[in-house]
A and B are shown apart, each in its own frame.
Chain A
Amino acid sequence: MGELRLMKGNEAVAEAAIRAGCDGYFGYPITPQSEVMEYLMAERPFERTGMVVLQAESEVAAINMLYGGAGTGKMVLTSSSSPGISLMQEGLSYLAGAELPAVIVNIVRGGPGLGTIQPSQADYFQAVKGGGHGDYRMLVLAPASVQEMCDHVKLAFDKAFEYRTPVMILSDGAIGQMMEKVVLFDHIPRRTDEELIKQCPWASNGRPKTRNHNIVTSLDLDPAGQERVNLKLQAKYREMEKKEVLFEEVQCEDAEYLIVAFGLSARICQKALDLARAKGIKVGLFRPITLFPFPATQVSNVGNRVKGILVVEMNAGQMIEDVKLSVGCKVKIEHYGRFGGIIPSPDEVLNALEQQIIGG
């Protein structure tokens, strides 16, 4: 078993990046995720593995540093929280358009605007539907524990390089700030230059005499060429939908009612499920782990066996749209949400289930 530690979610992201063999972190401080950079600065990986840790002058600078690093095939990471992630949207669209691998962590806080520093899930649409311009998607992972914060960093880097795409880890202030037991994976050395060139033959990192220049760009002024780029991207997204869906089912086998929730909300709903089961109400929990690709078939399979579905999110109803598109209109689907940094309690969720789904 790997090394056992008690860590904050934000610290786990930073430690996992070092262990995954990350080449560079670029970020700008914002609550509730500043511990990511604080931890990296305290650990000083630049002295151990050579990983660059840089506080950029702004989020806009950080995301463009990510673009530059990724363009040379380096394994790069940034983290921020909602308002900072909004500033990065142009860069995310460019990363997707230029097919560059990068990992972006959003420790979501309540919005809109400067909002609050308390946890929220109101950036679902932005992450999943594309906050930047153009027809692009990111693979989006939604960790529900500190252990997953650690494991998803490794997974995100793997998928970013496999698909040449930006991958987002969509978490929230509570998971970032809370401490849990983590089993850390073993250190993976950073790739050598030779390994990098082998893995990323497309990277713009010096032209040997044996090939032409590699060009990294998201610009193609010829519409036919740009359509080809789009078709290639779409083919990649269909491939992800086939192969990369992750989800968790809890007590769905005999469920008469279903709760669908991701991230922190799923943890709260697990407790609500326990309370409901203690009262004899047969409830199951479906937790999407990838938000894109969305586990559409899987939630439909479970959803169409039950009498009603409650979608619980710390927002005004965002993922519920994907649940409705997946499950269809034969089953009653309702939303329960709290906003602006308020976390629903397990009792509240149980009450909503009884009022809106069972009684309603």
Chain B
Amino acid sequence: MTEEIIIAGFGGQGVLSMGKILAYSGVMQNKEVSWMPSYGPEMRGGTANVTVIISDERISSPILNSFDTAIILNQQSLDKFEKSVKPGGLLIYDPNGITRNPVRKDINIYSIEAADEAGKRGLAKIFNMIVLGGFLKLKPLVAPENIRKGLEKSLPARHHALIPENEKAIEVGKELLKPVHLAT
């Protein structure tokens, strides 16, 4: 099993930390992982993305131009990465702020109203965990107990009290996911 994922959105949405929690959960499940962020001028321009690879085998290139899954959190990222999803692959996006919907017919597309839900709950910080929950519903690559361990390892100790909140957000995300277009 090898899963190649791009997570892309604005800086501050928790894109890199979502990737880190997913990757660390993979480590806890004894998988090979890589986490390759955009950095530098790209990041300073306001967009952030990270390539996460989780595999049973040694990972070759940490830098990819096609992905099994794209998790898309803003319009710029949809424009940039929709075409990079492998045929038959998966695209999950938050429709908040999306003005042009995805058009691919050969991939599976799901939406998740995570920003809206996080806003309703008054917890902007769990937004990324809601999105992660949506992804894990379709691709349960890591067991819940390893996600907890991943959260423990990724979050500084002073934030460990928030772990149950994060786990709950993941469960909420699983409920919020809606199919938009299915290729198969």
Identity of the chain B residue whose Cβ is nearest the Cβ of A344 in the assembled complex: B63
Instruction: Find out whether the CB atom of A274 lies under 8 angstroms from the CB atom of B60.
Output: yes
Tell me which residues across on chain A come within 8 A of B35, comparing CB atoms: 6, 178-180
Instruction: Find out whether the CB atom of B36 lies under 8 angstroms from the CB atom of A271.
Output: no
Tell me which residues across on chain A come within 8 A of B62, comparing CB atoms: 174, 178, 180, 264, 267
Residue in A6, A267, A268 whose beta carbon sits within 8 Å of that of B33 in the complex? A6
Tell me which residues across on chain A come within 8 A of B24, comparing CB atoms: 6
Instruction: Find out whether the CB atom of A32 lies under 8 angstroms from the CB atom of B40.
Output: yes
Tell me which residues across on chain A come within 8 A of B40, comparing CB atoms: 31-32, 116-118, 173
Q: Give A342 Cβ to nearest chain B Cβ, in Å.
A: 11
Within 8 A of B (CB), among A294-352: 343, 345-347
Number of A-B contacts (CB under 8 A): 74
Residue in B41, B59, B64 whose beta carbon sits within 8 Å of that of A345 in the complex? B64
Indicate whether A268 sits within 8 Å of B23 (C-beta atoms), given known contacts A31-B40, A179-B35, A180-B35.
no
Instruction: Find out whether the CB atom of B65 lies under 8 angstroms from the CB atom of A6.
Output: no
Within 8 A of B (CB), among A118-146: 118
Q: Give A4 Cβ to nearest chain B Cβ, in Å.
A: 7
Is A89 on the interface with B (CB-CB < 8 A)? Answer: no
Identity of the chain B residue whose Cβ is nearest the Cβ of A347 in the assembled complex: B65
Indicate whether A268 sits within 8 Å of B27 (C-beta atoms), given known contacts A6-B153, A181-B33.
no
Tell me which residues across on chain A come within 8 A of B65, comparing CB atoms: 345-347
Tell me which residues across on chain B come within 8 A of A6, comparing CB atoms: 20, 23-24, 27, 33, 35, 153
Within 8 A of A (CB), among B94-152: none
Is A165 on the interface with B (CB-CB < 8 A)? Answer: no
How many A residues, CB 8 Å from partner? Answer: 27
Instruction: Find out whether the CB atom of B60 lies under 8 angstroms from the CB atom of A267.
Output: yes
CA distance A31 to B40 in the complex (A): 8
Tell me which residues across on chain A come within 8 A of B37, comparing CB atoms: 177-178
Q: Give B95 Cβ to nearest chain A Cβ, in Å.
A: 30
Is A106 on the interface with B (CB-CB < 8 A)? Answer: no
Is A171 on the interface with B (CB-CB < 8 A)? Answer: no
Within 8 A of B (CB), among A233-291: 264, 267-268, 270-274
Tell me which residues across on chain B come within 8 A of A273, comparing CB atoms: 60
Residue in A177, A179, A267, A346 whose beta carbon sits within 8 Å of that of B20 in the complex? A179
Tell me which residues across on chain A come within 8 A of B27, comparing CB atoms: 4-6, 181
CA distance A348 to B90 in the complex (A): 24
Q: Give A341 Cβ to nearest chain B Cβ, in Å.
A: 8
Residue in A4, A32, A178 whose beta carbon sits within 8 Å of that of B34 in the complex? A178
Identity of the chain B residue whose Cβ is nearest the Cβ of A109 in the assembled complex: B40
Tell me which residues across on chain A come within 8 A of B63, comparing CB atoms: 174, 264, 267-268, 343, 345
Is B32 on the interface with A (CB-CB < 8 A)? Answer: yes
Tell me which residues across on chain A come within 8 A of B36, comparing CB atoms: 174, 177-179
Tell me which residues across on chain B come within 8 A of A178, comparing CB atoms: 34-37, 62
Q: Give B26 Cβ to nearest chain A Cβ, in Å.
A: 8
Tell me which residues across on chain B come within 8 A of A173, comparing CB atoms: 39-40
Is B61 on the interface with A (CB-CB < 8 A)? Answer: yes
Q: Which of A117, A264, A267 has the most CB of B within 10 A?
A: A267
Q: Which of B20, B23, B33, B34 has the most CB of A within 10 A?
A: B34
Tell me which residues across on chain B come within 8 A of A271, comparing CB atoms: 60-61, 64
CA distance A116 to B64 in the complex (A): 21
Tell me which residues across on chain B come within 8 A of A270, comparing CB atoms: 60-61
Given contacts A178-B36, A179-B33, A346-B61, 19 further A-B contacts (CB under 8 A): A5-B27, A6-B33, A31-B40, A117-B40, A118-B40, A177-B37, A179-B34, A179-B35, A264-B63, A267-B59, A267-B60, A267-B61, A267-B63, A270-B60, A271-B64, A272-B61, A273-B60, A345-B63, A346-B60
A-B contact pairs, 5 of them (CB 8 A): A4-B27, A5-B153, A267-B61, A270-B61, A273-B60
Which residues of A does B touch, CB under 8 Å? 4-6, 31-32, 116-118, 173-174, 177-181, 264, 267-268, 270-274, 343, 345-347
Top 9 A-B residue pairs of the complex, sorted by shortest distance between their CB atoms: A270-B60, A271-B61, A179-B35, A271-B60, A345-B65, A117-B40, A178-B36, A268-B61, A6-B24
